[in-house]
Every structure is written in structure tokens, then in C-alpha cells.
Amino acid sequence: MRSLLAFTGVLAAYTATAQALPSSTADDLFRNGVKACNMGDYPRAADLFTQVIQMDPENLNAYLQRGICFSLQQNYQAAVADLSAVIQRKPDHQGAYASRGSAYNKWGKPEQAVQDFDTALAMDPSDQETFNNRGWAKKALGDPDGACADWNSSRKLGNAEAKIILKNNRCN
């Protein structure tokens, strides 16, 4: 019991010290960037991720998260650049392909979106969200049958939203 109390005291002292320190490490900046992004403060989040990248240029998660923030700000060119940087350094990063595909699709480039979604699904064929997103890209390309097939795959993988999409798009 005495050692538990000692540990609790040490933990409390560590926590107080950690809270008093400025957020200056790359890990702290990254965590604050994630928090800002989750709160919808995308410009601040992107700035924090930029600081992380300046401190650690090989931090692929910072590029990925900044790319997502740029996409949420409708800055698709910057989003694609960051997500491409992740893919260049780690060609098997499924999430980067899926996220870049979404950015391309929102940017009005469904051909590139489908290519990235195809790559992402080859890496993870159970990604219901990517099937759903590829469906929208195929619809934009004038491929309603392909779109319906993707939305149906998404539904079979458990995406409840896909059932509504299938109905609204008159898929069989």
C-alpha cells in the first residue's frame, strides 16, 4: 500500500510538471493539432502540424493530418500535396491513398479519386468508407452501376448510411 501511495504522489508531481511545461515538443504539438482538428479549428490544426513537420520532417502522421485539415478547409491542392508526400515516403499507406482519393473527389477530379480508392481498397478490402467514397466518384464519372456496386459493398461491410444511399440512388 505504501508503494502505491508513493507511486500516486510521483504521478501527481509528474502530471503537474507536465501541465506546467509549454507545448514545445513535436509530440505535444501533434496532440494539440489533433485536438484543434477535432474541434473544427482547421487553420490552427494545420499550423500546429506545420510546426511538427518543421521539427521532424519525416513525421508522416503530421503530413497526413495536415493534408486532412487542408481538405476540410477545401484547400484540395495543398491536401493532395501533403498526402502525396506521405505516399512517396510510404507507398503502402492505405489511409493516405483513401484520404487523397477523397480530396481528389471533392476537388472535382473523380478519375484520380477512383485510382486512389482502387489502390486503398487493394490494401484493405474491408474499408467500407472507401467503398462508399469510390461510389460517389464513380457516380460523378457517369458509372451508376459501378457506384451502386460500391455502395452495396459498403452496406455489406456494415455501413448503415450506404443503405440510404442505395435507396436514394435507385440501386437494385
Give yes or no for a contact between 168 and 137, defined as CB atoms under 8 angstroms apart.
no
CB atoms within 10 A of CB 32: 17
Radius of gyration of the chain (CA): 20
Burial of 90 (0-12, 13-18, 19+ CB in 10 A): middle
Q: With a cut of 90, say whether residue 12 has pLDDT above it.
A: no
Give the pLDDT band of residue 158 (cuts 50, 70, 90): very high
pLDDT higher than 50, residue 4: no
| Amino acid 66: pLDDT | 98
Give per-residue pLDDT as tens, 102-117: 999 999 999 999 999 9
C-alpha cell at 95: 489511409
pLDDT of residue 15: 39
Contact 33, 52 (CB under 8 A): yes
Q: 3-class SS at 124?
A: coil
Question: Contacts by 154-162 with C-beta closer than 8 Å and gap 24+?
Answer: 154/128, 154/129, 157/126, 157/127, 157/128, 157/131, 158/128, 159/128, 159/129, 159/131, 159/132, 161/132, 162/128, 162/131, 162/132, 162/135
pTM of the model: 0.83
In the predicted model, is pLDDT for residue 7 greater than 50? no
Report the chain's terminal Cα–Cα distance, integer Å: 65
